[in-house]
Copies of this chain bind each other. A is one copy, B any other.
Amino acid sequence: VSLKHALLGLLAEGPASGYELTKRFELSLSNVWSARHSQIYGELAKLTGLGFVRPGEEGARGRVDYHITSEGRAELIRWLVEDEPERKLRNEAMLRVFFLWTLDDDAAARYLEEEAGHYRAAARRFEDIDRLVAWDATGSDRMGRIALEQGRRWVAAMEAWATWAAGQIRAGHGAPDLEGMLTRAE
């Protein structure tokens, strides 16, 4: 149940409304987790029931800021240090790669080249973030920087891989009709 803890983690930085939390999912967490506002409002109600957050006074336009309680903070820490992370990933773009053999070589290579382009675009977005964000290197920004570096290295590795893979196919490596000239990968 990670959404609960993601919300606690965001609220540990300071009080925020459901609307604001939704934005933060879109902007900073989108590369690792996602949630829509409909899910977030429901989860905030559950967290309130558990005593992990507490709604503040209603402000302008009906806005309600939620505050993390000390129980909530304790639960966040407990989750981080005690619970084993769920290692299951799901990545539809990579799932498709397993089935590219059903396409002809040209279509498969084009798919991988498009993937490479997608990763290049993602890399540019990471550089933009790096340039725009005022990194003050305290608290959450410090880890934000470390998380950004992860994204950077990840897309760089994936771009290199997709380019390599498209090249392998274009070169006919391992193609059924060229088995004789098969060489070890890379």
Contacts and interface: CB of A to CB of B under 8 A. Distances in A.
A76 B98 contact: no
A82 to B, nearest CB: 11
Given A137-B182, A149-B165, A150-B161, A86 B92 contact: yes
Interface string A120-152: 000000000000000001111011111101100
Nearest to A165: B146
Contacts of A80: 96, 99-100, 102-103, 107, 111
Contact of A89 (B31, B142, B156, B160): B31
Interface stretch (A14-22, A50-58, A168-176): A168-176
A99 B76 contact: yes
Taken together, the copies of this chain in the complex come to: 2
Contacts of A29: 95, 98
Contact of A144 (B33, B98, B176): B98
Interface of A: 2, 5-6, 9, 12, 28-34, 73, 76-77, 80-81, 85-103, 107-108, 111, 118, 137-140, 142-147, 149-150, 153-154, 156-158, 160-161, 164-165, 168-169, 174-176, 179, 182, 185-186
